[in-house]
Amino acid sequence: MAEVSTETFREVSQRLRPEIDAALNRLTEFDQDCPDRLREAIRYSLLAPGKRLRPVLALLAAEACGSDLQKAIAPACAVEMIHAYSLIHDDLPAMDDDDLRRGRPTCHRQFDEATAILAGDALLTRAFEVLATEIADAEQSRRCLCELTHAAGASQLVGGQVDDLRFEKLDGTADDLAAIHRRKTGAMITVSLRLGGIVAGADEALLALLTKYGDCLGLAFQITDDLLDVQGDEKSMGKRVGKDADKGKMTFPGVWGIEESRRKAEQLIHQACEAAAKLPSGGDSLISLAHYVLERNH
C-alpha cells in the first residue's frame, strides 16, 4: 500500500473545518422559543473540538465526484448533528456511562441527564430539518432524507447500539462484532459519503464506490478505536481509555488479538483506497483520510 502522509489529510481538514464549524454555528442559533439551557447544551456538544470526520467525508465525496464542495455543506452538517446526538446518548448512565468526551465533561455531566437527552433529541430532529430546508434540489433533498433516516434508525445506528449493549454481557464471535459496528459506526460513515455523492449528482456506479470505501473505512475506524482503547492515553483521546476491558466488553483486540486486529485494519484500508482511486478526481483526499484513520493516535 503506497504511503500517504497524514499531514496531507490534516491540511485538508484544516481547510474544511472553518466552513463546517461556521455552518454548524449558524444552523444551531435557533429562535427565541428554544430555551437558553437547551440551546447551550446543544451547542456545547455539537461545537466541541473534534475531528469532524463525517462532515469532512461528505465534502470530500462531493469533491471526488467532481462537484462544488459547497453543495455538500448541508448534508455534512446533518451527519455531524446525528453523530453528536448519538455521542450524547451513548455517554448517558443507562448506556456507556462516560464522564469525558472530546476532552471535556460529557453533556449530562456538564448540564444534567434530562437536558442531555433532550439536547440529543433536538439534534436528531434538526438534522432532518436541515436536509429538508437547506438542499435546493427537491429530489436530492428527498434522497438524502431517505438515506440518513435509514442509517440513523432501528436497523443501522440504533440497532447496532442495542446489540453493542447486549454483547457487553454475552460472548460473541468476530462476525457478531463486525455486524454490530458496521451498523453502529460504519453506517454513519458510509451515509456521509453517499450524501456527498447524491448532492454531487453521482450515478449508481459512483455511489457504489463510495459505499465500498465507506464500509471498509468504517470497520477499520472501529478496529483502530478499539486498539486505542487498549494502547492509547486519555489526554490524546479526550475520553477514558481502558473502559472496554474494565467492563469485559467484546472488542476486536479481545477477539483477534492486537496484531491480527492491526492486520485486518490495514487490509480494510487497502480496500478502501482501491475504491477511492476509481473515483473521477482520483480520490486523493479520501485516500489520505483512510491512511489517517489507520495511523491516528486519538
Beta carbons of 72 and 199 less than 8 angstroms apart? yes
Average pLDDT rounded to a whole number, residues 39-53: 95
HSE toward the beta carbon, residue 87, CA cutoff 13 A:
24
Q: Which of 6 and 122 is assigned the larger pLDDT?
A: 122
Q: Is the per-residue pLDDT at 1 higher than 50?
A: no
User: pTM for the full model?
Assistant: 0.90
- The widest CA-to-CA distance across the chain, in whole angstroms, is 54
- Residues 99-143: pLDDT tens digits? 999 889 999 999 999 999 999 999 999 999 999 999 999 999 999
Q: Is the alpha carbon torsion for 155, 156, 161, 163 positive or negative?
A: positive
* All domains of the chain in start order, with CATH: 6-295 (1.10.600.10)
Lowest mean pLDDT of 54-63, 72-81, 129-138, 168-177, name the range.
168-177
Rama region for 257: left / alpha / beta (φ>0; ψ in -120 to 50; rest): left
* Location of C-alpha cell 449508481: 204
Give dist(CA 71, CA 73) in Å, integer. 6
Q: What percent of the chain has pLDDT over 90?
A: 71
